[in-house]
Amino acid sequence: MSPAPTPESSRPGDRIAKLLARAGIASRREVERMIAEGRVALDGQVLTTPATVLTSLHGVTVDGNPVAAPAPARLFRFHKPAGLLTTERDPAGRPTIYDTLPKGLPRLMPVGRLDLSTEGLLLMTTDGELKRQLELPATGVERSYRARAYGQVSQEQLEELMLGVEIEGVRYGSINANLERRTGANVWIELTLTEGKNREVRRVLEHLGLKVSRLIRTRYGPFELADMPVGAVDEIRQHDLIVFRKALTGPGGGKAASNLHLSGKSKAIDAPPEAAPADPAATPPANRAERRKASAQISEPEAYKPARPQRPKAEKKGPEKFGVGQRRRHQAKTQRQANPAPFGAGQAEGQRRPRPATAEGTVRPGRNPRPDAPGRSAPASGKPFAKPSAPRHAQHDDDGSPLLDRPKRAGPTDRRPTAAPGKRPPTGKGGPTRPPRGTPAPGKRGPRS
Q: 16, 32 in Cβ contact below 8 A?
A: no
Which of these is catalytic: 43, 115, 240, 372?
115
Pairing of strands 211-220, 119-125: parallel
- How far CA 141 is from CA of 50, 132, 138, in Å, comes to 30, 12, 8
- How far CA 100 is from CA of 170, 223, 274, 308, 355, in Å, comes to 34, 22, 20, 15, 77
Residue 351: is it exposed, middle or buried by C-beta count within 10 angstroms (0-12/13-18/19+)? Answer: exposed
Taking alpha carbons only, the member of 288, 278, 221, 218 closest to residue 248 is 221
Taking alpha carbons only, the member of 296, 330, 325 closest to residue 310 is 296
Q: What is the DSSP string of 91-124?
A: TT---BGGGTSPTT----EESS---TT-EEEEEE
115 among known catalytic residues: yes
Taking alpha carbons only, the member of 99, 116, 126, 118 closest to residue 22 is 126
Taking alpha carbons only, the member of 21, 10, 7 closest to residue 60 is 21
**What is the maximum span of the chain, computed from C-alpha positions, in angstroms?**
165
Residue 35 phi, psi dihedral angles, 5° rounding: -65, -40
- Cα–Cα–Cα angle for 350, 351, 357, nearest 5°? 165
State the number of CA atoms in the 13 A half-sphere of 303 facing the CB: 19
- Residue 88, sorted as left (phi over 0), alpha (psi -120 to 50) or beta, turns out to be alpha
- Residue 64, sorted as left (phi over 0), alpha (psi -120 to 50) or beta, turns out to be left
Q: 378, 362 in Cβ contact below 8 A?
A: yes
What stretches of 79-199 show up as alpha helix (H) in DSSP?
A: 128-135, 155-159
Q: 97, 74 in Cβ contact below 8 A?
A: no
**CA distance linking residue 182 with residue 187, whole number of Å:** 4
Which amino acids are annotated catalytic? 115
